[in-house]
Amino acid sequence: DAMVIQNPRYQVTQFGKPVTLSCSQTLNHNVMYWYQQKSSQAPKLLFHYYDKDFNNEADTPDNFQSRRPNTSFCFLDIRSPGLGDAAMYLCATSPGRRGGTDTQYFGPGTRLTVL
Amino acid sequence: AQSVTQLGSHVSVSEGALVLLRCNYSSSVPPYLFWYVQYPNQGLQLLLKYTSAATLVKGINGFEAEFKKSETSFHLTKPSAHMSDAAEYFCAVSDQAGTALIFGKGTTLSVSS
């Protein structure tokens, strides 16, 4: 089945220690997104790639970076995690149809704990 | 700018009862609206979406939603709740560029037997 895969499902890191979260997709979608979802809150978009074009949300901290080496993979790098970065990180993909009708398909998420 | 407001952070129903989850939107352009469901420690799954083709949208698992422009609403309903419907439900609107989703704060649905 075509899907969005996130690894690992649970990640524990130490305060200030860089961490990388991984997302891969078999849907061959053009667009890949990273959302941050804190406990009991709505998902918040951090950034997205439309093909190779990177689009950062204005309020995404510089501590968060992303890489998309090819169509299938996208990575979220947190350079110096703080306690406030503990959250569920959701990866999503969409075909890339302009105009608002695109459906986003979500992975299962990676729950990040910062000690 | 687009936004959605979900009325009621927590809704409790009995098994077999009607489910009604409320969502109101604000948009300066014709909106594209979505309902997603999230089970504990899982990602979001699309229930249904409105893209202006029909005002009554049918989704998966027996859910449906009606777009009412005059009320700026897109409420989610299901005639008969099942225990497996217990989850977090998010209403979302697509931003003007058509790329990002703007989510409401979510409504937790509890179903009792």
How are beta strands A110-114 and A10-13 bridged, if at all?
A: parallel
Token pair recorded at residue A62: 């510089």
Token pair recorded at residue A83: 């306690």
The pLDDT of residue B110 is 97
d(CA B38, CA A109): 11
Cross-chain Cβ contact B94/A109 below 8 Å: no
Token pair recorded at residue B18: 């009607």
d(CA B29, CA B33): 12
* Whether pLDDT at B56 is above 90: yes
* Whether pLDDT at B54 is above 90: no
Any chain B CB within 8 A of the CB of A112? no
Residue B30 binned pLDDT confidence (cut-offs 50, 70, 90): confident
* Whether pLDDT at B85 is above 90: yes
Any chain B CB within 8 A of the CB of A109? yes
* Whether pLDDT at B98 is above 90: no
Question: pLDDT tens digits for chain A (115 residues)?
Answer: 669 999 999 999 999 999 999 999 999 999 999 999 998 888 999 999 999 999 999 899 999 999 999 999 999 999 999 999 999 999 999 988 766 678 899 999 999 999 9
Nearest residue in chain B measured CA to CA from A99: B98
The candidate with the shortest Cα–Cα distance to B85, out of B33, B25, B18, is B18
Q: Which residues of A touch B34 (CB under 8 A)?
A: 103
Hey, what's the torsion of the CAs at A50, A53, A55, A61, to 10 degrees?
Answer: 120
* Whether pLDDT at B86 is above 80: yes
Q: Which residues of A touch B98 (CB under 8 A)?
A: 97-102
Q: Are B65 and B35 in contact (CB under 8 A)?
A: yes
Nearest residue in chain A measured CA to CA from B106: A42
* Whether pLDDT at B47 is above 90: yes
- Using a CB–CB cut-off of 8 Å, the residues of B that contact A are 31-32, 34, 36, 41-46, 49, 51, 90, 94-96, 98-101, 103-106
Nearest residue in chain B measured CA to CA from A90: B43
What is the strand order of the sheet A73-78 is part of? Answer: A4-7, A19-25, A73-78, A64-67
Token pair recorded at residue B86: 């217990």
The pLDDT of residue A112 is 96
Query: What mean pLDDT is predicted for residues B43-69?
Result: 92
Q: What is the mean pLDDT of chain B?
A: 91
- Span of A93-102, B34-43, B44-53 with lowest mean pLDDT: A93-102
Query: What mean pLDDT is predicted for residues B38-57?
Result: 89
Cross-chain Cβ contact A111/B41 below 8 Å: yes
B1 to chain A nearest CA, in Å? 14
B99 to chain A nearest CA, in Å? 6
Cross-chain Cβ contact A101/B98 below 8 Å: yes
- Span of A95-99, B11-15, B43-47 with lowest mean pLDDT: A95-99
Q: Which residues contact B97 (CB under 8 A, 6 or more apart)?
A: none
d(CA B95, CA A113): 30
The pLDDT of residue A98 is 65
d(CA A113, CA B17): 38
Based on the number of CB atoms within 10 Å of its own CB, is B106 exposed (0-12), middle (13-18) or buried (19 or more)?
buried
The candidate with the shortest Cα–Cα distance to A5, out of A75, A77, A102, is A75
Q: Are B35 and B20 in contact (CB under 8 A)?
A: no
Q: Are A105 and A37 in contact (CB under 8 A)?
A: no
